[in-house]
Chain A
Amino acid sequence: MSTDIWILGINMTKFGKHTDRDVVDLAAEAVMAALADGGVTMADMGVLAAGNLMGSGGIGQQIQKQVGQTGIPVFNVSNACATGATALRTAIMAIKAGECDMGLAVGVEKLAGAGLLGGGGRAKQDAHEWEPQGRFGAVATTDGRIGTDTMPGVFAQVGMEYGHRYGGADFELFARISEKNHAHSTLNPLAAYSKRFTLEEIMGDMMIAYPNTRPMCSANCDGAAAAVVVSGERLRTLSLEQQRRAVKVSASVLTSDPYQEACQVLPDVNTLTRNAATTAYEQAGVGPEDLDLVELHDCFATAELVHYDNLGLCDEGGAVDFFESGAPWRDGSTPVNVSGGLQSKGHPISATGIANIWEVCHHLRGEAGDRQIEGAKVGLAHVIGLGSACGVHILEKSAA
């Protein structure tokens, strides 16, 4: 018999610039708040999974020293932008394996001011002598000469490819997706940026990689998110209030990218997302039409479009029509990224895959305040990290 899993407590810090606090401070804040939210302590935790990409390593043990060292197993996980979802999945797997009945997952990143990611961090300079190096025997820098390594450019090509295949996706359409997310962010007090932009402002802003202008790119920022997960059996021994606020994890799926012809030259973010979504819907016994809200990985406006399709929110090839129908706006039929998404809420990489679960839980618990999606019962959270890794979680409101 498979174990049912629940989110007992969850928290995200304010996303933004935290100049006076380090990754351990931010993670500890999220952990302490998630424990308090669940009405439990470190003594109840049987496992800790922690993610942080840009730090020095061993973040889980560093966090324990701030919040409680109990000797439990720690898994320090790293899975690109899916790191937070991977930490959560790790804690869930430990419970499903019967090793413990309660666990903690946390993701944290300090990324404010990090600038361009993916080949963009260091100045490029050729050597004084052309000497073949690396697995391509390259004698010179290839970034900028044989395509681009930068994230805005890679994901621009992902969106443009979809437009080439199905039509209807132009610069303005992508900018309008960004307009939606920035509009949504004005209701989220924890977002790094909560300013509404006009379409003209978005299209007229600094071009990073056509068609992605600056506000169409995810915002580098600092932040942490943490979640306490519990088995159904243990949950039923807790208070009625804890049971009422607990959110059911109906599906928890992690995939990597299967071989596709073009994946060696442009990362394929589609197939592994489609696979994860299909498996998640099967596990949860729900379909895309049952979703009251979706938090998907809009690392760039061009990425959001393809994931409407990959997550089955529309018919194959129908992402442009889906957007044009108004469906993904917060008053539409399938609200997408009511948090403001990565473009305005921000993208502290390892925190993202738990922060999007927090957003969904907030609505399912009816605690989302001004941005509450009324009557929300089922939600989906999706992240993808290049390389690639995809996490999809489907969450359901407690019946208690």
Chain B
Amino acid sequence: MADTATPARVPIVEYLVLDDGDPHLVANECTGCGARFFDRRNACASCFGTEFTRVRISGEGELRTFTIVAFAAPGVEVPFVSGVIDCDGTSVRGNLRNVEPDADHVRTGMQVRLTTYSLGTDDRGTEAIGFAFEPVS
């Protein structure tokens, strides 16, 4: 705890890249058919190709569907908005933040953009960074 060095930061998942001041999501894109995957694949689920390249996902998109979860496992804060965002043709799963979690404020078709937030620091002083989407005002 006496460590005075700048605390390290880690993303909540590997497909969130924190690049200082320019956080973004990345995917493994099949070089054969262009299908994109947020996790590793032995072969492309669409065309069975085995070559992948890392690509950046657009940080802006349209909310294609959502739910407002009011009842979840213990330890999960509710209510929260879960949705699927169409980011320039790539579907991304994420929560919505910085919007009232009710059906008057959240609607399909709304424009949203990527945002990050702190999940807190662990016992070693490392800060975890989460991502979500927020309305484009």
Selected from B35, B40, B70, the residue in CB contact (under 8 A) with A208 is: B70
Is B68 a contact partner of A209 (Cβ separation < 8 A)? yes
Q: Say whether B55 faces chain A, with CB atoms less than 8 Å apart.
A: no
Is A135 a contact partner of B40 (Cβ separation < 8 A)? yes
Q: In angstroms, how far is the closest chain B Cβ from the Cβ of A115?
A: 9
Is A143 a contact partner of B72 (Cβ separation < 8 A)? yes
Is A153 a contact partner of B14 (Cβ separation < 8 A)? no
Q: Say whether B23 faces chain A, with CB atoms less than 8 Å apart.
A: no
Q: Say whether B95 faces chain A, with CB atoms less than 8 Å apart.
A: yes
Q: Which of A138, A160, A163 has the most CB of B within 10 A?
A: A160
Is A129 a contact partner of B65 (Cβ separation < 8 A)? no
Q: How far is the CA of A135 from the CA of B40 in the complex (A)?
A: 7
State the 5 A-B residue pairs at the shortest beta-carbon distance, nearest first.
A137-B14, A124-B75, A144-B76, A156-B67, A262-B91
Q: Which positions in A face B, CB cutoff 8 Å?
A: 116, 119-130, 132, 135-148, 150, 152-153, 156-158, 160-161, 163-164, 171, 206-212, 259, 261-262, 264-266
Is A161 a contact partner of B93 (Cβ separation < 8 A)? no
Which B residue's beta carbon lies closest to that of A122?
B73
Known contacts A116-B73, A209-B70, A157 near B84 by CB under 8 Å: yes
Known contacts A120-B73, A129-B124, A148-B82, A160 near B91 by CB under 8 Å: no
Selected from A135, A139, A153, A156, the residue in CB contact (under 8 A) with B128 is: A139
- Chain B residues near A266 (CB-CB < 8 A): 65, 84, 91, 93
- Chain B residues near A124 (CB-CB < 8 A): 73-76
Selected from B37, B46, B65, B80, the residue in CB contact (under 8 A) with A164 is: B65
Q: Which positions in B face A, CB cutoff 8 Å?
A: 10-15, 35, 37-40, 45-46, 64-78, 80, 82-84, 89-95, 103, 108-109, 119, 122-124, 126, 128, 130-132
Selected from A119, A206, A212, the residue in CB contact (under 8 A) with B73 is: A119
- Chain A residues near B65 (CB-CB < 8 A): 157-158, 160-161, 164, 266
Selected from A121, A130, A147, A161, the residue in CB contact (under 8 A) with B64 is: A161
Q: Apart from A120-B73, A124-B73, A124-B75, what are 14 other A-B pairs with CB-CB below 8 Å? A: A123-B75, A124-B76, A126-B119, A136-B39, A148-B72, A148-B82, A152-B69, A153-B67, A160-B108, A161-B65, A171-B103, A208-B70, A261-B35, A266-B91
Q: In angstroms, how far is the closest chain A Cβ from the Cβ of B126?
A: 5
Q: How far is the CA of A148 from the CA of B12 in the complex (A)?
A: 15
Known contacts A140-B119, A147-B94, A207 near B35 by CB under 8 Å: no
Q: How far is the CA of A143 from the CA of B37 in the complex (A)?
A: 19
Is B94 a contact partner of A146 (Cβ separation < 8 A)? yes
- Chain A residues near B76 (CB-CB < 8 A): 124, 141, 143-144
- Chain B residues near A123 (CB-CB < 8 A): 73-75
Is A139 a contact partner of B94 (Cβ separation < 8 A)? no
Is A207 a contact partner of B71 (Cβ separation < 8 A)? yes
Is A210 a contact partner of B93 (Cβ separation < 8 A)? no
Q: In angstroms, how far is the closest chain A Cβ from the Cβ of B96?
A: 10
Q: In angstroms, how far is the closest chain B Cβ from the Cβ of A286?
A: 33
Selected from A129, A136, A148, the residue in CB contact (under 8 A) with B13 is: A136
Q: How far is the CA of A136 from the CA of B90 in the complex (A)?
A: 17
Known contacts A259-B35, A259-B46, A148 near B67 by CB under 8 Å: yes
Q: In angstroms, how far is the closest chain A Cβ from the Cβ of B26?
A: 12
Q: List 5 A-B contacts (CB under 8 A).
A: A116-B73, A122-B73, A147-B83, A164-B109, A266-B84
Q: How far is the CA of A116 from the CA of B74 in the complex (A)?
A: 11
Is B71 a contact partner of A128 (Cβ separation < 8 A)? no
Selected from B75, B89, B95, the residue in CB contact (under 8 A) with A147 is: B95
Q: In angstroms, how far is the closest chain B Cβ from the Cβ of A139?
A: 5
Is B71 a contact partner of A116 (Cβ separation < 8 A)? yes
Is B37 a contact partner of A153 (Cβ separation < 8 A)? no
Which A residue's beta carbon lies closest to that of B78?
A144
Q: How far is the CA of A210 from the CA of B79 in the complex (A)?
A: 10
Q: How far is the CA of A116 from the CA of B69 in the complex (A)?
A: 12
Selected from B11, B72, B103, the residue in CB contact (under 8 A) with A144 is: B72
Is B82 a contact partner of A157 (Cβ separation < 8 A)? yes
Q: Which of B12, B95, B109, B131 has the most CB of A within 10 A?
A: B12
Q: How far is the CA of A171 from the CA of B104 in the complex (A)?
A: 12
Q: In angstroms, how far is the closest chain B Cβ from the Cβ of A172?
A: 11
Known contacts A121-B73, A152-B71, A265-B93, A140 near B82 by CB under 8 Å: no
- Chain A residues near B35 (CB-CB < 8 A): 259, 261
Known contacts A209-B69, A209-B71, A262-B84, A145 near B130 by CB under 8 Å: yes
Which B residue's beta carbon lies closest to that of A138?
B13
Is A143 a contact partner of B66 (Cβ separation < 8 A)? no
Is B14 a contact partner of A146 (Cβ separation < 8 A)? no
- Chain B residues near A150 (CB-CB < 8 A): 69, 71-73
Q: How far is the CA of A163 from the CA of B75 in the complex (A)?
A: 31
Selected from A119, A136, A210, A265, the residue in CB contact (under 8 A) with B91 is: A265
Which B residue's beta carbon lies closest to that of A137?
B14
Known contacts A153-B82, A264-B37, A146 near B10 by CB under 8 Å: no
